[in-house]
Amino acid sequence: MDTLRIAMVAPPFFELPPTGYGGIETVVADLIDALVDRGHQVTLIGAGGHATKARFRRTYAEPQSDRLGQAMPEAFHAAAVAEILEDLDVDLVHDHTLLGPLQARSRAVPTVVTVHGPVIGEPAAYYRMVGCAAHLVGISHAQRAFAPELNWAGTVHNALDAGRCAFRTVKEDWVLFLGRCTPDKGMHLAIDIARTAGRPIRLAAKCREPEERSYFEAEIRPRLGPGVEWLGELTAPAKWEVLAAARCLLLPLQWEEPFGMVMIEALASGTPVVTMPRGAVPEIVIDGETGFVRNRLEDLPSAIEAVGALDPHCCRQDVLDRFSPQAMAAGYETVYRRVLSPGGRASEARAAAGLIGGPAPRAAGVSRR
């Protein structure tokens, strides 16, 4: 395959790869290294520094993590990206930011945009307006199903370099919640479920933004006590250690998760996932093999007990088979070729469907129990 010159635009909030929270940044870092290994020339445009195999152009001297959720860092970053791209000779731009698609119309080369969030309501309307100029990539079939009419160029599952994960076959007796401190992740429900199951629970979560802190004070702090341990936001290697040691990852999701990196992080650590069939869960967790997927909250305590029969090796192998950086890079290569081909602009991209690159996803077989 011919070498492609790719400008990879990361959000301005964390360095690549991140040391703690930063699911998008982890995915982008792994994608960059896999693309370089496959012979492509990648220029990363981001904030702070980086530890990837790409060439690097900086917008902010320091990552803007303390301003996460504010508009100005995104706007400044987008303006700086436009200026940097004027001096770069690339075949395409691959953008992972929110405001990046607004500039796609003015570029001489195609813009591929990975949609990392939900496409429901206002976000769907936004991508509908900018999608005529940008080629959108979904991170799951479930995500795309909410807005199938958008200008999708393909679906590529997120991936993980399993080599960075700790792996244990002997688990401890507690369960783990790992994610953001928000109601839609269901942390308060996880505490209640673990108590019903008679298992201790450890809570590792990002809790920086005002909404996250408010939720913590209203729902989490009152539930802390015997058997409930608050770990806060973990950085590597502490995160990998707790993921590998936990009996299971417990995620009583209350929203349609577009993907869910924490699930493949747990599986790569040999830790099964107990969750609900929301969003992309059925594309990630294989019910009865790598975890248990239950429709009802009241069925999750018994699932926590049942995970002892699952094989940690099977959990890890599934990540190696289906969610490797190499499979992700191959998927994006196919997208790149599609949008660069003479007939592969918006008209054909709209018609594109299915998982691009890598093996087809396995059905999760959601239990009705």
Question: CATH number of the domain that 312 lies in?
Answer: 3.40.50.2000
Same domain, 23 and 74: yes
Average pLDDT of the segment spanning 89-96: 97
Average pLDDT of the segment spanning 214-227: 97
Work out the burial of residue 218: count CB atoms within 10 Å of its CB; fewer than 13 is exposed, 13-18 middle, 19 or more buried. Answer: exposed
Using alpha carbons, list the distances in angstroms from residue 142 to 38, 180, 326, 355: 29, 21, 22, 11
Average pLDDT of the segment spanning 302-307: 98
Residue percentage of the chain with pLDDT more than 90: 85
- The answer to the question of residue 362 being in a domain is no
- The mean-pLDDT minimum among 14-23, 72-81, 257-266 falls in 14-23
Average pLDDT of the segment spanning 33-45: 98
The backbone torsions φ and ψ at residue 39, rounded to the nearest 5 degrees and listed phi first, read 100, 5
- Residue 47: give the domain boundaries: 5-159+324-351
What pLDDT is recorded for position 342?
82
Rounded CA separation 20/17 (Å)? 9
Q: Work out the pLDDT band at 360, boundaries 50, 70, 90.
A: very low
* Average confidence score pLDDT of the chain: 91
- The answer to the question of residue 21 being in a domain is yes
What pLDDT is recorded for position 147?
97
Same domain, 340 and 283: no
Same domain, 147 and 175: no
Read off the pTM: 0.89
Span between the terminal Cα atoms of the chain, in Å: 48
Same domain, 199 and 298: yes
- The answer to the question of residue 368 being in a domain is no
Same domain, 213 and 104: no
- The mean-pLDDT minimum among 154-158, 164-168, 302-306, 365-369 falls in 365-369
Same domain, 171 and 284: yes
- The answer to the question of residue 367 being in a domain is no
3-state SS track over 145-198: HCCCCCCEEEECCCCCCHHHCCCCCCCCCCEEEEEECCHHHCHHHHHHHHHHHC
Same domain, 26 and 154: yes
- The answer to the question of residue 269 being in a domain is yes
**Are the beta carbons of 334 and 356 closer than 8 angstroms?**
yes
326 has pLDDT over 50: yes
Identify which has the larger pLDDT, 286 or 366.
286
2 has pLDDT over 50: yes
What pLDDT is recorded for position 363?
38
What pLDDT is recorded for position 132?
85
- The total of structural domains in the chain comes to 2
Number of other residues whose CB lies within 10 A of the CB of residue 309: 8
- The answer to the question of residue 230 being in a domain is yes
Same domain, 57 and 199: no
What pLDDT is recorded for position 211?
93
**Are the beta carbons of 288 and 303 closer than 8 angstroms?**
no
70 has pLDDT over 70: yes
What pLDDT is recorded for position 243?
97
Average pLDDT of the segment spanning 241-257: 97
Q: Work out the pLDDT band at 1, boundaries 50, 70, 90.
A: low
- The mean-pLDDT minimum among 188-192, 194-198, 232-236 falls in 232-236
Same domain, 123 and 220: no
**Are the beta carbons of 12 and 73 closer than 8 angstroms?**
yes
Same domain, 155 and 170: no
Same domain, 220 and 233: yes
| Two tokens, residue 362 | 């396995």
Same domain, 139 and 26: yes
62 has pLDDT over 50: yes
- The answer to the question of residue 356 being in a domain is no
What pLDDT is recorded for position 213?
95
- The answer to the question of residue 359 being in a domain is no
pLDDT digits (tens, 9 = 90+) for 131-187: 789 999 999 999 999 999 999 999 999 999 999 999 999 999 999 999 999 999 999
